[in-house]
Chain A
Amino acid sequence: QKEVEQNSGPLSVPEGAIASLNCTYSDRGSQSFFWYRQYSGKSPELIMSIYSNGDKEDGRFTAQLNKASQYVSLLIRDSQPSDSATYLCAVNGYNQGGKLIFGQGTELSVKP
């Protein structure tokens, strides 16, 4: 089992729809969770961090964390073509010295 797993996609949604990106992780001791956005040819950009169970909202983005299910998700409301990118889930690997473990990323395509 991969330490951090994401559907590679591509996930295609129409403009204005809600995009839902999912991530599961294997280390039950993980405490910090991050979502990065990476445009093609660019470096990852931190867009959300979440540390406790529940929802965290920032503009059109909502991160959801369920530690019991070892699941973290990112919702993007009112999706725009400019949201088209690869989204990386990163988890604090508590049993690996606290370093971040990245998933392989989900490619999102928002169609006008």
Chain B
Amino acid sequence: ETGVTQTPRHLVMGMTNKKSLKCEQHLGHNAMYWYKQSAKKPLELMFVYNFKEQTENNSVPSRFSPECPNSSHLFLHLHTLQPEDSALYLCASSPKREGLEQYFGPGTRLTVT
């Protein structure tokens, strides 16, 4: 696997729960990303952080709340999710934001019941 880790790998939560996804990169990169991948759909970019600063919020509902305490760690806080939020959530990192190759973590398979 790559130098990007994600926990947990699988998560089942009810619509009233609060949970967090964690991502850590060991590549010395400065940019980190959250993507959502639903079945048979293209990757959807959710958030971009560059040097810990959020530079992109792709019209994501407020029930998803990102946090980037440093360039190596990225969190996605989840609350009052809907069943349609069930998907594979992928974290990625790149040396910098501007279009260089991104390396993905293994993803968290989220099921909202």
Q: Which of B99, B104, B106, B109: most chain A Cβ within 10 A?
A: B99
Q: Quick one: CB contact mask for B68-100 with A, threshold 8 Å, 1 for yes?
A: 000000000000000000001010000001111
Inside 8 A of A94's CB, which chain B residues have their CB? 99
Q: Is the CB of B41 within 8 A of A43?
A: no
Q: Is the CB of B99 within 8 A of A102?
A: no
Q: Which of A11-19, A44-52, A54-62, A75-83 contacts B (4 or more CB under 8 A)?
A: A44-52
Distance of A49 Cα from B98 Cα, bound (Å): 15
B contacts with A, residue count (CB < 8 A): 22
Partner of B104, one of A32, A44, A92: A44
Distance of A93 Cα from B90 Cα, bound (Å): 20
**A46 (CB) vs chain B CBs: closest residue:** B101
A contacts with B, residue count (CB < 8 A): 24
How many A-B residue pairs lie within 8 Å, measured between CB atoms? 52
Question: Nearest-CB distance from B26 to chain A (Å)?
Answer: 16
Q: A97 and B55 in contact (CB under 8 A), knowing A104-B42, A105-B42?
A: yes
**Segment 83-99 of A: residues with Cβ below 8 Å from B:** 88, 90, 92-94, 97-99
Partner of A99, one of B48, B103, B106: B48
Distance of A44 Cα from B102 Cα, bound (Å): 10
Partner of B97, one of A41, A99, A102, A105: A99
Q: Is the CB of B99 within 8 A of A44?
A: no
Q: Is the CB of B43 within 8 A of A88?
A: yes
Inside 8 A of A102's CB, which chain B residues have their CB? 42-43
For the complex of A and B, the 5 pairs showing the least CB-CB separation, nearest first, are A92-B99, A98-B98, A98-B99, A43-B104, A104-B42
